[in-house]
Chains A and B, each alone.
With several copies, the nearest count.
Chain A
Amino acid sequence: MTLTAKAPQTGSIADEPRYDCRNAYVETLADLARADHRIVGVVNDSVGSSKLDAFKKAFPDRLINVGIAEQDMVGVAAGLANGGRIPFVSAASCFLTARALEQIKADVAYSDHNVKLCGMSPGVAYGELGPTHHSIEDLAWLRAIDNLTVVVPADPVETAAAMRWAAATEGPVFIRVSRMGVPVVYREDHEFVPGRAVTLRDGQDVTLISNGTVLWRALAAAEQLAQEGIEARVLSMPTVKPLDVEAVVAAARETGGIVTAEEATRTGGLGGAVAESVVEHHPARMRILGIPEFAPTGSAGFLLDRYGMSPEGIAESAREVLGR
């Protein structure tokens, strides 16, 4: 069950070295591009912010920069897919999703074009740049769109695995590519299975469900809870859509409650998806953690902590759900 979870070298996941998932992203994109001439990148003046300078050098024709024009960027990607290419759109998640939402709906999802939308530096990664640059709404926005798989990898291993799966699979996919440093959670040979939760830690007392940059914080919270004798199950839920309803229902049935934690709004995202499953299949007590507002000035880490997503904060929510 926890086969592909990596054992922390340091004792605690919180002390492991941190990685920017954009590096795994660009390395994997280059690997994919070398193996398959159909792979192209599409950017909105975001070569640097997507760390694609080396890719551009290696494949100068295959990195299409449409300029600062997100609607065009997504439409162009749809047209490239129509021409047989597999475009990986790489742009700041806030602009990709907010500015091109109708193109994502109509040109990609409804048109069923084989486009991979990669939301770089999502959530509150841009920290002090403020709410215009925070992409906390993207999960709620995209989850509402039919025929679009929504993936939120938690570490470099999962980012690369999700990209390889997306490249090999026909159809619209959105992948969030984190910028904020995260420790490695998965073993190197981890394979991404869409729509499948991964049990990173088993437990019967309470379940923590998370993904993206918050997953390791949930694992660290579970470590803390274990010291108090609370055995928390930790579910990694990289696919927000379609959701692994079975894993959620099992958690609702087998443990005393569920805490979700994500670098996104408290409504409509992972927490919302889990809540919708729970009430329809096995009502259970929940706490939904996320960013509840246009955040004040602060770094990504500062903001996650502020909104109860430090390991301590998540542990506290778990205790609350258990009524302790």
Chain B
Amino acid sequence: MPGLTTDEVTMPVLGRLDSSARREDQVAHLAEVARQIRIQDLKLVHHGGAGHIGGDFSAIDILTVLYGAVLDVSPATVEHPERDRFILSKGHVAGALYTTLATFGFLPVEELATFLQPLSRLNGHPNRVKVPGVEANTGPLGHGLPIAVGHALSAKLDVSRRRTFVLTGDGELQEGSNWEAMMAASQHELDSLTVIVDRNRLQQGATTRETNDLDPLDAKAAAFGFSVVEVNGHDHGELLDVLSAVPFRPGKPTFVIAHTHKGHPISFMSNNVKWHHKVPDAEQYQQALDELDALAPDRDARRPA
């Protein structure tokens, strides 16, 4: 594994807009941050020689909106007991999380160059003991939601307003541990809990439909006592509106079905199961970079060739 050289870490630390920013500026800002995160993540995976780029790109818009505008946590409050918690249950997209955390200042951007390198604290799945901003060591699927329920219970015991967000894969919901946790969440009326499902309809080897269909997912979640909302998981405005508005029903936890595409928006990756953990070769890497480049909001903001 060759690894990234430090000067390939080109990403600016973009940070959050002031919460008083107009919605349209906020949305434009988030879109640009997400684009930058994708560029950086693409480099991580290409140079690191491993990673889960399909799931990364599926989730990056969600991660961006959470860290960029929703979560009440910052590098300064990363150990504060009253911080909001975000748990990445689909731990295989650690690359996307590390890049997001770096973008918002939780990690030195330079450190991204150590992704998957010997003795790096950035291995293929996040580690809360080593990486600031990580709340649980995920990777085996179906662990995040129970942990999130536990945290939401702790907030309730503390009569605290801190919130818990957890991002799961859709294939991941085939794990029964999630349904145990969902039953408990609604039993305990944990309305500070928001489950976001990255509903890209692909899992590791096939579509969810072919493997173990989840539909009707909304009916399942509703029958398990959640208030259910569906959003376009690549639309920063929709995500911002929905994730800022939770809970929708007092006393009920929220289940956000975020419709996404694995590998979005790269033409040859999008909605293609092969890109679950494929690593782009030199040519694919360049094409993906070019496609992301073309999405830049204006010429000046474009990354130096």
A and B touch in the complex (CB under 8 A): yes
Q: In the complex, which residues of chain A have a beta carbon less than 8 angstroms from the beta carbon of B146?
A: 71-76, 78-79, 103, 107
14 new A-B contacts, CB < 8 A, other than A103-B143, A132-B138, are A45-B205, A62-B157, A65-B205, A67-B174, A68-B203, A72-B180, A82-B154, A83-B81, A102-B140, A128-B1, A130-B123, A130-B125, A296-B118, A298-B118
* Known A74-B146, A296-B119; contact A69-B212, beta-carbon cutoff 8 A: yes
| B85 to chain A: closest residue by CB | A82
B184 close to A76 (CB less than 8 A): yes
B176 close to A79 (CB less than 8 A): no
**What 1/0 mask marks residues of chain B from 248 to 259 whose CB sits below 8 Å from any chain A CB?**
000000000000
B137 close to A83 (CB less than 8 A): no
* Known A94-B140, A132-B137; contact A68-B125, beta-carbon cutoff 8 A: no
**What 1/0 mask marks residues of chain B from 78 to 122 whose CB sits below 8 Å from any chain A CB?**
000100010000010000000000000000000000001111111
B174 close to A79 (CB less than 8 A): no
A297 to B130: give the CA distance in the assembly, Å.
12
* Known A61-B157, A107-B137, A107-B143; contact A297-B116, beta-carbon cutoff 8 A: yes
Whether a CB of chain A sits under 8 angstroms from the CB of B153 is: yes
Closest 4 CB pairs of A and B: A79-B150, A83-B154, A75-B146, A67-B212
Whether a CB of chain B sits under 8 angstroms from the CB of A247 is: no
Whether a CB of chain B sits under 8 angstroms from the CB of A106 is: yes
| A42 to chain B: closest residue by CB | B150
Whether a CB of chain A sits under 8 angstroms from the CB of B151 is: yes
Give which listed residue, A61, A99, A107, contacts B136 with CB less than 8 A.
A107
**What 1/0 mask marks residues of chain B from 273 to 292 whose CB sits below 8 Å from any chain A CB?**
00000000000000000000
Q: In the complex, which residues of chain B have a beta carbon less than 8 angstroms from the beta carbon of A40?
A: 157
B212 close to A133 (CB less than 8 A): no
Q: In the complex, which residues of chain B have a beta carbon less than 8 angstroms from the beta carbon of A99?
A: 140
Give which listed residue, A83, A103, A112, contacts B151 with CB less than 8 A.
A83
B149 close to A49 (CB less than 8 A): no
CB of A141 to closest CB in B, whole Å: 15
Give which listed residue, A68, A76, A112, A126, contacts B149 with CB less than 8 A.
A76
Give which listed residue, B50, B118, B148, contacts A79 with CB less than 8 A.
B148
Q: In the complex, which residues of chain B have a beta carbon less than 8 angstroms from the beta carbon of A230?
A: none
B125 close to A129 (CB less than 8 A): yes
A75 close to B50 (CB less than 8 A): no
Classify chain A: how many residues form its interface, as a range: 35 or more
A129 close to B205 (CB less than 8 A): no
B176 close to A69 (CB less than 8 A): yes
CB of B33 to closest CB in A, whole Å: 27
B81 close to A84 (CB less than 8 A): yes
Whether a CB of chain A sits under 8 angstroms from the CB of B272 is: no
Q: In the complex, which residues of chain A have a beta carbon less than 8 angstroms from the beta carbon of B71?
A: none
Q: In the complex, which residues of chain B have a beta carbon less than 8 angstroms from the beta carbon of A245?
A: none
Q: Which of A230-278 contact B (CB under 8 A)?
A: none
* Known A69-B176, A72-B176, A72-B181; contact A46-B212, beta-carbon cutoff 8 A: no
Q: In the complex, which residues of chain B have a beta carbon less than 8 angstroms from the beta carbon of A103?
A: 143, 146, 177
* Known A65-B211, A129-B125, A130-B124; contact A45-B149, beta-carbon cutoff 8 A: no
Whether a CB of chain A sits under 8 angstroms from the CB of B5 is: no
Q: Which of B148-183 contact A (CB under 8 A)?
A: 148-155, 157-158, 164, 171-172, 174-177, 180-181, 183
Q: Which of B50-86 contact A (CB under 8 A)?
A: 50, 81, 85
Of A67, A112, A302, the most chain B CB neighbours within 10 A belong to: A67
Whether a CB of chain A sits under 8 angstroms from the CB of B133 is: no
Q: Which of B181-217 contact A (CB under 8 A)?
A: 181, 183-184, 187, 203-206, 211-212
A47 to B139: give the CA distance in the assembly, Å.
19
A229 to B89: give the CA distance in the assembly, Å.
54
A99 to B146: give the CA distance in the assembly, Å.
14
Q: Which of A103-126 contact B (CB under 8 A)?
A: 103, 106-107, 110-113, 126
Q: In the complex, which residues of chain A have a beta carbon less than 8 angstroms from the beta carbon of B85?
A: 82-83
* Known A46-B204, A48-B204; contact A75-B140, beta-carbon cutoff 8 A: no
Of B117, B138, B158, B211, the most chain A CB neighbours within 10 A belong to: B211
Whether a CB of chain A sits under 8 angstroms from the CB of B294 is: no
Q: In the complex, which residues of chain B have a beta carbon less than 8 angstroms from the beta carbon of A83?
A: 81, 85, 150-151, 153-155, 157-158
Of A69, A87, A111, the most chain B CB neighbours within 10 A belong to: A69
Q: In the complex, which residues of chain B have a beta carbon less than 8 angstroms from the beta carbon of A106?
A: 137-140, 143
Q: In the complex, which residues of chain B have a beta carbon less than 8 angstroms from the beta carbon of A77?
A: 150
CB of B284 to closest CB in A, whole Å: 19
B128 close to A69 (CB less than 8 A): no
B150 close to A76 (CB less than 8 A): yes
* Known A79-B146, A112-B129, A132-B91; contact A297-B180, beta-carbon cutoff 8 A: no
Q: In the complex, which residues of chain A have a beta carbon less than 8 angstroms from the beta carbon of B151?
A: 79-80, 82-83
